[in-house]
Amino acid sequence: MLLATAEDVLILTHKSPDGDTLGSAYGLYYALTAIGKRARVACSDPLPKKFDYFYPKAPFEDFEPRYIVAVDVADPQLLGSALQQYAGRIDLCIDHHISNTGYAGQLLLDHHAAATAEVVCEIVNAMGVTLTSQIATALYTGIATDTGCFRYSNTSAKTHLIASRLIEAGIDLPRINQLLFETKTRARIALERLGMATLEYSFGQRCATIVLSQEILTRSGAEDEDIDGISSLPRQIEGVQVGVTMRERSEGGYKVSLRAAEGVDASAICKLLGGGGHRAAAGCVVHGTEQEAKAQLAGAIATQLEAL
């Protein structure tokens, strides 16, 4: 394996970093440094505070990279502006997105893997590196976040087998899960309270919509990190088949996140409005006032809900 012989490794994550890109990057970083290699992780955006428990305490050693790895980055554009300089010279990409554009010199892609961290775990194993609790803590975070704590349909028997190896490495499982899934910032709770107060049902209570206006976003004090994942809330209501979260943009119009139940295609709805995504989760941008945006959305949602 080329990575095993690589020196001075720069590990790149995608912009708006999530638990998988960061968990994969730091898991790989700890594995490489454990066998005496110089490595560092780079990201275009500030790192979310919620993953503090696996970031290194000391700053990275500075060096001129001789080998560049991208993790969980399906397209070089996702590197973000600060890392664009590396876009054309990535030696290895480790990923699980079927949409990967094949931009790297070498691509290690397993689209059956629930998370890139699963693939990294196998690489670490193949390199013969002992799985320390430090490596395992980062990799577990990647898998747990991309599977919604082993609840989403991407979770496989293999996901659990890999998780079992990570648990055997001595990670503090209850603490990590508590931090990831049972802890919310006060700004997040304020945002949920204000957001849920705007809840409206339509289509005979089969559609639930919340609106996060600029006023609500400001009043709650929520930052991007606090807003993450809030769009799953309206879909959690019993009997709701389409959950809609409308986030007012500072430049006008709404960024819309759709979450759909089994049998409803969220991406088909969003495509009608110029967006896209997956069957269960999709998004689009809708222009106009709140009422105009809601009317456009209702027209598109009707094509799915009225067909049932």
DSSP classification of residue 252: S
- Closest-CA residue to 73 (of 51, 92, 48): 92
Pick from 20, 91, 226, 248 the residue near Mn ion by CB under 5 A: 20
Dihedral of alpha carbons 79, 226, 256, 203, sign: positive
Smallest distance from the beta carbon of 117 to Mn ion, in angstroms? 8
Q: CB of 206 within 8 A of CB of 301? A: no
Smallest distance from the beta carbon of 112 to Mn ion, in angstroms? 13
Smallest distance from the beta carbon of 145 to Mn ion, in angstroms? 8
DSSP classification of residue 150: T
Taking the least distance from each CB to Mn ion, the nearer of 103 and 203 is 103
Smallest distance from the beta carbon of 47 to Mn ion, in angstroms? 16
With contacts defined by CB under 5 A, name the span among 144-152, 191-199, 210-218, 255-263 that binds Mn ion: 144-152
Taking the least distance from each CB to Mn ion, the nearer of 72 and 265 is 72
Smallest distance from the beta carbon of 151 to Mn ion, in angstroms? 15
Q: Which long-range contacts (CB under 8 A, 24 or more apart) does 62-68 make?
A: 63/8, 63/38, 64/8, 65/8, 65/9, 65/10, 66/6, 66/7, 66/8, 66/9, 67/2, 67/3, 67/6, 67/7, 67/8, 67/9, 67/10, 67/91, 67/92, 68/9, 68/10, 68/12, 68/92
Taking the least distance from each CB to Mn ion, the nearer of 150 and 203 is 150
With contacts defined by CB under 5 A, name the span among 20-28, 149-157, 167-175, 189-197 that binds Mn ion: 20-28
- For residue 72, state whether it binds Mn ion (rule: CB under 5 A): yes
With contacts defined by CB under 5 A, name the span among 18-26, 59-67, 181-189, 274-282 that binds Mn ion: 18-26
Taking the least distance from each CB to Mn ion, the nearer of 116 and 296 is 116
- For residue 146, state whether it binds Mn ion (rule: CB under 5 A): yes
Instruction: Please give the residues from 84 up to 123 whose contact with Mn ion meets the rule CB under 5 A.
Output: 116
Identity at 295, one-letter amino acid code: A
Taking the least distance from each CB to Mn ion, the nearer of 162 and 212 is 162
Smallest distance from the beta carbon of 209 to Mn ion, in angstroms? 28
Cα gap 298→292, rounded to integer Å: 10
Smallest distance from the beta carbon of 100 to Mn ion, in angstroms? 11
Binding site for Mn ion (CB under 5 A): 20, 72, 116, 146
